[in-house]
Structure 1
Amino acid sequence: MQTPRKLYYTIKEVAERFGVKTSKLRFYEQEFPSLKPKKNSAGDRVYTQEDIDHLGEIFELVEGKGLKLPAARAFLKQKNSRLDETRQHIQKLENLKAFLIQMRDEL
């Protein structure tokens, strides 16, 4: 039986997963505005799986591909912009589909 995935991970767990010190994670929070882990009632950082996936992407860009921090920030910003544009196109297509289905049903 598989163990269920946790909803939140501590900064220590995330640092161990990536093999870095917790200070590096805090540094990346300052350098990448898109990385915003939540804080619990005690003020400790808690990471969701989405935060961890985003961190993995940052590590891949910076350490895997050797990008400098400004270049990695620009890459992620451009990627997010493309995703937003894609979502808008999908929404327009869904609206058009609904309109066409309605027209077909009225015929």
Structure 2
Amino acid sequence: MFEPDKKYLNISEVSERTDVPAHTLRYWETEFKQLKPERHSGIRKYSPLDVELIKKIKDLLYNKKYTIEGVKKCLTVDRRKKNMSNMQVGVSDSKILEEIKQELKEILDILE
């Protein structure tokens, strides 16, 4: 989808690749706060993550027949799930660090 040397696509390239009209993409930006393409000199520049989000929104709206509000809720739930998994990683990281700390204390006791 993206050329190796290209980080961003403009709105017409995204429109062509996702088969979503440019005016619809602009509208979705107003409805879905997660869809925020960067702007360079006033031109929208979509990242690969933006394009994936557009595909997901399109699928939910057109194929799964969600309403705009339904898609918003779905995207919010997805974000919460992602945040929860990140928090769980943090918990397991702190457990690992605590175990390492305990092992180092035991080694220190042995050396003394």
TM-score with structure 2 setting the length: 0.87
Q: Displacement of 1:93 after TM fit? A: 0.9
Q: Which residue of 1 aligns with 2:4?
A: 4
Aligned residues: 104
Structure 1: distance between partners of 2:28 and 2:10 = 16
Unaligned runs of 5+ in 2: 107-112
Q: Which residue of 2 aligns with 1:97?
A: 96
Instruction: State whether structure 2 residue 43 is matched by structure 1 residue 29.
Output: no
Unaligned runs of 5+ in 1: none
Q: Displacement of 1:5 after TM fit? A: 5.1
Structure 2: distance between partners of 1:89 and 1:20 = 36
Q: Displacement of 1:61 after TM fit? A: 0.9
Deviations 1:67-106 (A, max 9, x none): 0110010011011012111111110110111110221132
Q: Displacement of 1:47 after TM fit? A: 0.3
Moved over 6 A (4+): none
SS at match of 1:9: coil
Q: Which residue of 2 aligns with 1:74?
A: 73
SS at match of 1:20: coil
Q: Which residue of 2 aligns with 1:57?
A: 56
Paired residue type of 1:71: G
Identical counterparts, % of pairs: 25
Larger Rg: 2
Paired residue type of 1:26: R
Q: Displacement of 1:32 after TM fit? A: 0.5
Q: Which residue of 2 aligns with 1:38?
A: 38
Paired residue type of 1:33: K
TM-score with structure 1 setting the length: 0.91
Superposition RMSD in Å: 1.2
